[in-house]
Amino acid sequence: MGKWLARLTALGVALALAAPVTAAQADPATTGKKTVRIGSIQSVDSMNPFLAVRLIAGQLQRWTYMFLTTPDPKTLQPSPDLAESWESSADGLTWTFKIRQAKWSDGQPVTAQDAAWTFNKIMTDDAAKTGNGPAVENFASVTATDDRTLVIKTKAPQASMLSNPIPIVPKHIWEKVGDMATFENETYPAVTNGAYIPIEHKKDSYVKLKANPDYWQGKPKIDELQVIFYENPEAAIAGLKKGDIDLIGRLAAPQFEAGAGDPNITQWNTPGRRAAYLQINHGATTSDDKPVGDGHPALKDPKVRQAIHYAIDKKALVDQVQNGLAVPADGSIVPPMYTDFFWQATGDEKVTFDLAKANQILDEAGYKKGADGVRTMPDGKRKLEMRFSIHTDTPTEDKLAQFLTGWFKEIGITLTTRKLDSNKFTEETGSTALFDIAISGWSVNPDPEEVLATHLCSRRPTPSGEGGGTESFYCDKQYEELYQSQLKELDTTKRADMIKQMQQRLYTDAPVIALYYPNNLELYRKDRITSITPIPAGRQGEGILYGGASGYPMVTLDAKAVASGGSGGSGGGGSNTGLIIGVVAAVVVVGAGGFFLARRRKSTSDERE
């Protein structure tokens, strides 16, 4: 997916930093043209799908590329996309996919060779593994036996095969790329085969997409989709009210509530697919088991992590930080919307808010309080003074830090808030391990295999800081065995039980501590958007518009045509030259300078997932 992008707290500051684009850059004012503009508080890290790790990049991939399968709009079960049909061998080791007849946006046919090349590139190129490496770790071989037939052989049965998160790219374009690590894929129009085609990207400002007339499900109803990047949510909300954008999702409670009372704005509040949690530096190591970073040594002790867990009032965080628009997390890192895989601690195993118990655990473990009330290590050489890493000027994270600081003081731990820009935050919590405790989170797909994989030994960064994709620097034998077992288990009920055991292991060992599941909070202008179908569709009170597990809502999207010279919003005046598009001063471009940041999907604001 997580770690929300750095934002400014005041609209006035945002305006001072904003870099307004010209009407020619972002104005959809062409007679009869249907354009929808989505606001995003996160900018694209890379237009290269092999490198991109942010949620917004993942959404763009869903809108612009086809995958082997896609979640069914109603059931979220795997359904046809690039693959029309599939079958597996009796031993579960060979999967055969029938590739549909489709065209790339440059007119070339889509073939099984494109899919085979995509998967083999990730299997053989370390740089190409950055975005989705774990998805092919169990692949033994991938071949195209003809233009319509793709054969994937696995080392062991793979239950998550039909939820593969890798977008298929055109071989005839990408085989010409030299160094994947530094390739940003910035030639437009891009060659894609999804519902939309990227036609323009201004770094940290916007991405423009046009409808693909050759999309296999039919050309989208709108002509152009734009994603406008804002430095902070306050500026984005102001843009929505003014009519400069038409929809914004992934909002925190205060921004969502700011949309109340506006007759032109619809508030969309449904169960979310995200879990928010603390990431604990419990003794980070690289993939060759060498220590890395400067985490506090006390956090290596499971007793200390357990005490910290008891010192967190999750209900208070939901009420006071999320304004009640979240669900407290008592275990699972998979949100409750995925009922098959959701796990919740009960009975004596459940960790409740209990400062007395937290103090007792630390007392018994030998961490004595000094005259100043701060505990020291059992050897007396170092105080329990720790850093809490959050994103620069993020109001909800500031508020979270205030609560944690107060509670931790009560148990003899001094917590000092460290604010980092998104670039530094991603680097320190995913690669260099220069942190103690950090805010984190993940947007989970219908099959949770991907988020589970972020806690595998193999996801730790290499000694040079490359690849990886860890969400915790975790490496645990029991967890690994359960992961491999669930991967091979084709019985859904048995597999779900193993996945719950994995979450139980994370809960008790606490390399991460789940806090809450934020609601999906979105706002859109009903005077501009005439129809949009959420995913999952058809479930009363559920469904996500932006940031869902597939691109389906943007395929169904329709809007009023914009007359020449109009902004489309009731408060928009006559042009969009005043669009507030914040300059994100320190956005990460994966691969810049040849250095890969560890994969943080659903982490710097989800990564993607």
- Other CB atoms within a 10 A radius of the CB of residue 530 amount to 13
* Rounded Cα gap, residues 50 and 86, in angstroms: 25
Q: Cα 464–466–469 angle (5° rounding)?
A: 135
Give the pLDDT of residue 234.
87
Q: Over the chain, what is the mean pLDDT?
A: 87
pLDDT of the residue at 605: 33
Asked if residue 199 lies in contact with residue 210, where contact means CB atoms within 8 angstroms, the answer is yes
Strand 35-40 to 247-248 pairing: parallel
Classify residue 525 as left (phi > 0), alpha (psi -120 to 50) or beta: beta
Alpha-carbon gap, residue 385 to 367, rounded angstroms: 12
The 10s digit of each residue's pLDDT in 367-380 is 999 999 999 999 99
- pLDDT tens, residue by residue, 374-404: 999 999 999 999 999 999 867 889 999 999 9
Q: What is the pLDDT of residue 134?
A: 81
Note the pLDDT tens digit of each residue in 421-443: 877 998 899 899 999 999 998 88
pLDDT at 467: 61
AA letter at 145:
T
Q: What is the pLDDT of residue 468?
A: 65
For residues 600 and 429, what is the distance between their CA atoms, to the nearest angstrom? 9
Distances (CA, A) of 336 to 331, 340, 536: 11, 9, 14
Instruction: Tell me the angle at which helices 395-410 and 355-364 cross, rounded to the nearest 10 degrees.
Output: 60
Under-70 pLDDT residues of the chain: 1-31, 393, 467-468, 563-609
285 phi, psi to nearest 5 deg:
-135, 160
The CA-atom distances, in angstroms, between 312 and each of 299, 369, 434, 442 are 16, 20, 23, 20
d(CA 325, CA 271): 9
